[in-house]
């Protein structure tokens, strides 16, 4: 009986192990087009230039520390004195593909001087989904800490949750830190993850079963 040494199933198994290993090698998710991939319920544009695309373009961020200059580095919603109150503030991030999210980092609103960090997001729910319909909430995350108003502000890391698959992530904002004129703001947001690997299709599994059966018959 001839023993087949170059078993074609072995490379397939090795590939599977490589994919599993890559799942733990999360990296920063880059937004190719911040202007279309970030959508806030409102923003202050024009001369004041506090737009939602600044949240993911790295502006104001150096060495993990965020600047205190608000323009053009931070997002701020409309408020009582700028276009009228935003009654249901939120920000939606479209990652461009489905990723397994392992952690994310938030730099809250860091405007100073004067110190206006109380405009930053406080109460929040983090919703997610593989489609724009969302449908799930990250448990245990209910608040973002207030920024310190210093140029050395390092933000806040969130990583204690179970990894989840998402293309769309929404910050549903419930309150600020007692700031003026019902403003809600953030400086920068970064998500870490790896492209999600889809489950093998039924046809692929059936093909592997046939291959394994054929190999057994040849022995």
**pLDDT 10s digits, 12-47:** 344 444 444 444 688 999 999 999 999 999 999 988
Q: Which of 68-72, 120-124, 198-202 has the lowest mean pLDDT?
A: 198-202
User: pLDDT digit string (tens) for 55-112?
Assistant: 999 999 999 999 999 999 999 999 998 999 999 999 999 999 999 999 999 999 999 9
CA–CA separation, 145 and 110 (whole Å): 11
Measured CA to CA, the distance from residue 46 to residue 1 in angstroms comes to: 80
Q: CA 103 to CA 149: how far, in whole Å?
A: 24
**Quick one: average pLDDT of 174-179?**
98
- Look at residue 201 in the predicted model and tell me its pLDDT: 55
* Distances from the Cα of 179 to the Cα of 96, 116, 158, angstroms: 33, 7, 24
CA angle, corner 164, sides to 162 and 165, nearest 5? Answer: 170
200 pLDDT tier (thresholds 50, 70, 90): low
Domain segments of the chain as ranges: 24-218
24-218: CATH architecture: Sandwich (2.60)
What proportion of the chain, given as a percentage, has pLDDT over 70? 79
Nearest residue to 188 (alpha-carbon basis) of 14, 60, 55, 15: 55
pLDDT at 143 over 90: yes
Task: For residues 55 and 27, give the distance between their C-alpha atoms in angstroms, rounded to a whole number.
Answer: 18
pLDDT band at 2 (very low <50, low <70, confident <90, very high): very low
Pick the residue with more confidence: 89 or 201? 89
The pLDDT, as a whole number, for residue 198 is 72
Side-chain half-sphere of 188: how many Cα atoms within 13 Å?
A: 27
CA 34 – CA 7 distance, rounded (Å): 47
């Amino acid at each position: 009986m001839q023993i087949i040494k170059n078993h074609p199933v072995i490379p397939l198994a090795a590939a599977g192990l490589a994919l599993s290993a890559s799942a733990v090698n999360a990296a920063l998710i880059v937004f190719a087009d911040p202007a279309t991939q970030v959508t806030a319920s409102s923003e202050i544009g024009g001369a004041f230039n506090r737009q939602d695309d600044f949240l993911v373009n790295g502006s104001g961020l150096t060495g993990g520390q965020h600047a205190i200059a608000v323009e053009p580095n931070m997002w701020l919603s409309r408020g009582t004195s700028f276009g009228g109150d935003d009654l249901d503030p939120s920000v939606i991030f479209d990652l461009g593909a489905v990723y397994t999210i392992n952690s994310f980092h938030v730099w809250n609103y860091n405007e100073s001087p004067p110190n206006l960090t109380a405009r930053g997001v406080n109460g929040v729910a983090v919703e997610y989904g593989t489609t724009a319909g969302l449908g799930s909430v990250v448990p245990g995350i209910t608040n973002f800490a207030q920024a310190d108003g210093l140029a050395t502000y390092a933000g806040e890391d969130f990583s204690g949750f179970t990894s989840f698959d998402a293309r769309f992530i929404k910050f549903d904002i419930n309150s600020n830190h007692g700031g003026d004129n019902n403003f809600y703001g953030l400086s920068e947001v970064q998500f870490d993850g790896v492209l999600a690997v889809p489950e093998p299709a039924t046809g692929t599994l059936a093909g592997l079963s046939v291959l394994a059966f054929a190999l057994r018959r040849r022995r």
